[in-house]
């Protein structure tokens, strides 16, 4: 993917804001790193927002409610288009306006998540990773990340962490997170395949390292953009 937003490589030391996305299976530590990266930007005196789909847009929130509702048993194509629709709204209303104002953006999951979850994880008949990519690249209308961080952990590690979190919060897990370890293994392998296709676009990190180490490595990559 090549950013259509600008012709040059963006970096945080110029006037141009950067767009960073963080990917990984549930429980890999994305949310933790989004928060820590956000704090690094602010500590460096760089304006920044952190966001995740649906990003607080009314249309996005309505789509999200549909997607996470256990009684909505929808087919995988519907789900794929709904995620892409939510993303289109998020880009137009939140991400692009911030970048245009020179505000750096960190997004918890983006196009790669759909390709990995829907294209590699669900694998419904006829749905290929290429199709999911095409639909989503259309939805984001040329707004591609300057850097995508993939946090890799084994499914068993993620499951253990998610179990702890949900036990702590005493919440029900949502429809996506009830899909089981074979599904997550395909998602993890999907992220790996995406990385192997375009390694220059990604930073691949081992999510079993301490959060502090991970933040340090991620910040190093961001400042070298």
In this structure, the chain runs to a length of 225
Q: Does 24 bind ligand ADP (CB under 6 A)?
A: yes
Residue 9: CB minimum distance to ligand ADP, A: 27
Residue 119: CB minimum distance to ligand ADP, A: 19
Q: Work out which of 18, 19, 20, 27 binds ligand ADP, going by CB under 6 A.
A: 27
Half-sphere exposure of 214 (CA within 13 A, CB side): 24
Q: Does 30 bind ligand ADP (CB under 6 A)?
A: yes
Residue 91: CB minimum distance to ligand ADP, A: 21
Edge-to-edge strand list for the sheet holding 147-152: 48-52, 104-108, 19-23, 147-152, 202-206
Per-residue interface string for the shown chain with ligand ADP, residues 161-180, x marking contact by CB under 6 A = x--xx---------------
Q: Element (H or E) spanning 63, and its range?
A: helix 58-68
Q: CB–CB of 94/110 below 8 Å?
A: no
Residue 184: CB minimum distance to ligand ADP, A: 11
Nearest to 201 by CA among 159, 160, 146: 146
DSSP 3-state of 22: strand
Residues 186-225 that bind ligand ADP (CB under 6 A): 207, 210-211, 214
Q: Does 28 bind ligand ADP (CB under 6 A)?
A: yes
Residues that bind ligand ADP (CB under 6 A): 24, 26-32, 161, 164-165, 207, 210-211, 214
């Amino acid at each position: 993917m090549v950013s259509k937003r600008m012709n040059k490589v963006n970096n945080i030391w110029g006037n141009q804001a950067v767009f960073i996305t963080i990917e990984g299976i549930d429980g890999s530590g994305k949310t933790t790193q989004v928060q820590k990266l956000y704090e690094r930007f602010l500590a460096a005196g760089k304006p920044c927002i952190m966001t995740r789909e649906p990003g607080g847009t009314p249309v996005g929130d309505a789509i999200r409610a549909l997607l996470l509702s256990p009684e909505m048993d929808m087919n995988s194509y519907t789900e794929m288009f709904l995620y892409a629709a939510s993303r289109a709204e998020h880009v137009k209303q939140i991400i692009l306006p911030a970048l245009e104002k020179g505000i750096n953006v960190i997004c918890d999951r983006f196009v790669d998540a759909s390709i990995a979850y829907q294209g590699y994880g669900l694998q419904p008949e006829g749905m290929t990773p290429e199709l999911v990519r095409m639909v989503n690249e259309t939805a984001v209308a040329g707004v591609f990340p300057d850097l995508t961080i993939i946090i890799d952990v084994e499914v068993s590690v993620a499951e253990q962490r998610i179990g702890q979190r949900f036990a702590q919060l005493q919440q029900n897990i949502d429809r996506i997170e009830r899909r089981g370890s074979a599904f997550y293994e395909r998602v993890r392998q999907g992220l790996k395949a995406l990385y192997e296709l375009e390694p220059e676009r990604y930073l691949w990190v081992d999510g079993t390292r301490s959060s502090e180490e991970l933040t340090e490595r991620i910040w190093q990559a961001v400042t070298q953009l």
